[in-house]
Structure 1
């Protein structure tokens, strides 16, 4: 299946992708009986099933041979996706949607730091300024939760678990870039399938005994197919057309959409500390990526990975 996107089409498709990603919080709040690891298991399981159908139709059956011959880097990337899939859903059961999404939005800045430390990319002053401002925002949000014992937008544990998502994303980016520098191009789509399969396998023992009813399974199937599998595939198409700063800016819409949907659809009003810290983080990211778009020179550091979770 081939899909040629114009730049404008890719922008609007990426907006739709962020809206699909953003449904996780509000849908999770309407689950009746499923508990944390069971939620993670079923979402990953349904994602795996959906990708097993989508990928052969899109890439042909050769996609499965790519998994067998993908090498160590592909499997490391798959493990990173596993961490992202698992930590995201567990975090949503422990903290507010707003806290989780704001924490996860640190991904681009943590990726920039990883590029500096492990690959030696020089960071412009604007990125260092963004890192400091975003760090202050996160420190305010985490510090308020610590002082208030988990009130004001969710537990500290949940936001700490959510921090695993951007950390795994930065690790994934570093592995992919290192592999490409050696001439080994990692196909992200099989890596996502590996991540979903490993997440389902690893969380299965903790998900038993199953408590989800038919209503819960329907919602979890929706998350697996329409919140994760389909937008993952669409995001891969988008990053083939859009520049990394554009992807990073558009991805921030997930935070706005996710908080709004959870507020409107589940009555989950974000705490003042989360809104304040989130404003600093989002403002720093927008500042950094807008200036990046003005830059004339594209570097290897501008390669973007879709931030599926």
Structure 2
């Protein structure tokens, strides 16, 4: 079922994707009895069921054959997705939505560092400056949590850091495979990640405490917050330039914080707003200059985010 997007259509669709991603914090705050790993398990299970229904309609039955023919790199990529899916939901149960989303927004800069450390790509001065400023912002946010005695919040923020780290590892794996002429299909990799996330969290999820109300909300997260936007983000990434995707993805931070504030009365701490402004400002600076440049460097490229 092919879908051809114009540039404007891809921009609008990516905005919708970030809005769907941004619902996670608000929805999680309305759960009644489900705990951290149980939340992750049910969302993962509903994501698997949703993708198993969506992907054959979009790609045909061949999408499942790609799981067997993809090779080691495809499964390593799937493992990275599993870490991202798991760390994101666990972090949301330990820290504020704002802290988690600001920490995750470091993805493009950590990916650029991975390009420098593991592949040897040179980074432009604007990216080094953005990394320093974003690091100061994150340091301010972490330091305020540590000095304020918010141990659980700090732990949650550290868990959230696993998301951009896994994303950077995922990008490195994809780049190494492409350098050898092997193209990794991100769609089956996302499905593998959802399956691994579900299996890994099943033993930790018991005994189940989720009510029928919780299961309805978790089914919403599996379908509308993860499965559908995962597929749509891959489509958008095939049309938009990498800096455009990175800039539009920052809307998730704004949407996520606003929805949690308005829909769950979760007001972000001043230190998070200050540190977050530094991080988002650094990312905007870096990606806008990349977009204005004549060409995008390899360090500016990244696989679409999903969590």
TM-score by length of 2: 0.99
Tell me if structure 2 keeps the 8 A contact 1:239–1:304. Answer: no
| Aligned pairs for 1:233-244 within 5 A | 233-244=231-242
> Are positions 1:281 and 2:279 aligned together?
yes
> Are positions 1:99 and 2:107 aligned together?
no
Match in the other structure for 1:186: 184
Tell me if structure 1 keeps the 8 A contact 2:109–2:127. Answer: yes
Q: Shift in Å at residue 304 of structure 1? A: 2.9
CA–CA distance in structure 1, aligned partners of residues 301 and 117 of structure 2: 17
> Are positions 1:127 and 2:127 aligned together?
yes
Q: Deviations over 1:82-107 (max 9, x none)?
A: 00000000000000000000000000
Tell me if structure 1 keeps the 8 A contact 2:290–2:300. Answer: no
Tell me if structure 1 keeps the 8 A contact 2:37–2:201. Answer: yes
Q: Deviations over 1:249-273 (max 9, x none)?
A: 0000000000000000000000000
| Aligned pairs for 1:33-182 within 5 A | 33-150=33-150, 155-182=153-180
Deviates more, 1:24-33 or 1:298-307: 298-307
Q: Shift in Å at residue 20 of structure 1? A: 0.1
2:302 is paired with a residue whose SS is: coil
1:5 is paired with a residue whose SS is: coil
Structure 2 unaligned runs (5+)? none
Aligned length: 307
1:3 is paired with a residue whose SS is: coil
2:146 is paired with a residue whose SS is: helix
Match in the other structure for 1:4: 4
Q: Shift in Å at residue 69 of structure 1? A: 1.0
Match in the other structure for 2:270: 272
Tell me if structure 2 keeps the 8 A contact 1:243–1:304. Answer: no
Q: Deviations over 1:168-208 (max 9, x none)?
A: 00000000011000000000000000000000000000001
Tell me if structure 2 keeps the 8 A contact 1:44–1:197. Answer: yes
CA–CA distance in structure 2, aligned partners of residues 92 and 72 of structure 1: 31
Tell me if structure 2 keeps the 8 A contact 1:176–1:186. Answer: yes
CA–CA distance in structure 2, aligned partners of residues 49 and 230 of structure 1: 12
CA–CA distance in structure 1, aligned partners of residues 39 and 185 of structure 2: 28
TM-score by length of 1: 0.98
Tell me if structure 2 keeps the 8 A contact 1:114–1:174. Answer: yes
Q: Shift in Å at residue 149 of structure 1? A: 1.0
Please point out which of 207, 210, 213 is paired with 2:208: 210
CA–CA distance in structure 2, aligned partners of residues 70 and 235 of structure 1: 21
CA–CA distance in structure 1, aligned partners of residues 189 and 88 of structure 2: 17
Structure 1 unaligned runs (5+)? none
The alignment's C-alpha RMSD in Å is: 0.8
Please point out which of 222, 226, 229 is paired with 1:228: 226
Q: Deviations over 1:46-65 (max 9, x none)?
A: 00000001111111101111
